Structure 1
Amino acid sequence: MVERVDEQDRVLAVVGRDEAVRRGWLHRIAVTVCRDREGRILVQRRSEHLARFPGHYEVASGGAVAVGESYEEAASRELAEELGVQAPVRFVVKFLNRNGLSPHWLAVHEAVLPGDPNPDPDKMMWHGWLSESELLRSMEENLFTPDSRDTLSHYFAAAERPSGQP
């Protein structure tokens, strides 16, 4: 179950995630861009048997925000579920994303992982650390999830803003 929200991210109702996707209702998604201590970004390749975007690469780990859960709580939970790691997440930016399966509010977080992740093999078939330039090159050469480019664009733009600027 997820919270259906409006264009200002206010809760309208509790609905099933599949219904929200099928009907194109706004709901909430939280993702985390993971970096290592050298600043490289974790890139993952989704398993071929997944229903959504099988075999696609992606730049963030995450998923739907559960009913009553904050974006940050969802980001932490998804990091543990998908990558098998516990790490503090830091909110970076939130935007209305109309790419992907259905429209949603997308909250992007960042985490510095203390070591290599231990991903769920049912969800991820490959992962690796790439520098920003390697990642941008890879995005031109490989098939990434539809919201990966927007996620990265908003993430980089927010990182470049002076502290305290919206």
Structure 2
Amino acid sequence: MDEVVERVDAQDRVLGPVSRRDAVREGWLHRIAVVVCHDGQGRILVHRRAERLTRFPGHYELGVGGALAVGESYEQAAARELDEELGVSATVRFRFAFLNRSGLSPHWLGVCDAVVPRAVMPNPDEVAWHTWLSRSDLPQTLQEWPFTPDSHEILARYRACRGWQ
């Protein structure tokens, strides 16, 4: 069964429920949430997507996330995805949203962050591998490894939001 998401407009206002498959196929705006995960030492979790996934299998990502269900906020979806993909609960903080045109279809991308324990328990259906990288290692790593298309923009906007040099 296909996920039901909310189709939104260019101002991120809800228009109504649609299937995610239709939203992607038709290029309708919908919402996705991601969580940039930090450990207690400030390192960032980077993971490789499982090969069985239909969207960007085997690519690396800066955040864990997924589509918002009908009625969910960015924070609620981010917290749900954190539990589903990494097996952890944490306080999720919304940082910003932007209209993302990279990837399979355009969507609003809500970027959140959370401090999570280093001992995550990734769901192997979602996450094939993970590691913790320092903030200074991230830009070079994004150039060397095959990341999802939105990871570069997430990092650039997240660095600006957090005041990182």
Q: Distance in 1 between matches of 2:21 and 2:157?
A: 26
Q: 1:17 aligns with which of 20, 24, 31?
A: 20
Q: 2:109 aligns with which of 106, 123, 144?
A: 106
**Residue in structure 1 matched with residue 42 of structure 2 by the alignment:** 39
Deviation of 1:138 (Å): 1.0
| Range 71-80 or range 46-55, more displaced | 46-55
TM-score (norm 1): 0.94
Corresponding letter in the other structure for 1:74: A
Alignment of 1:57 onto 2:60? yes
**Residue in structure 1 matched with residue 132 of structure 2 by the alignment:** 129
Q: Distance in 1 between matches of 2:141 and 2:163?
A: 22
Alignment of 1:149 onto 2:152? yes
Deviations 1:75-121 (A, max 9, x none): 10000001100000011111111111111111100100133211101
- What is the aligned length? 161
Q: Distance in 2 between matches of 1:128 and 1:116?
A: 11
**Residue in structure 2 matched with residue 164 of structure 1 by the alignment:** none
Percentage identity across paired residues of the two chains = 62
Large movers: runs of 4+ above 3 Å: none
Q: Distance in 2 between matches of 1:58 and 1:149?
A: 9
Q: Distance in 2 between matches of 1:48 and 1:16?
A: 24
Q: Distance in 2 between matches of 1:130 and 1:34?
A: 11
TM-score (norm 2): 0.95
Corresponding letter in the other structure for 2:43: R
Structure 1: give runs of 5+ residues left out of the alignment.
162-166
**Residue in structure 1 matched with residue 163 of structure 2 by the alignment:** 160
Corresponding letter in the other structure for 2:160: A
Alignment of 1:48 onto 2:73? no
Q: Distance in 1 between matches of 2:119 and 2:130?
A: 10
Structure 2: give runs of 5+ residues left out of the alignment.
none
Q: Distance in 2 between matches of 1:49 and 1:91?
A: 29
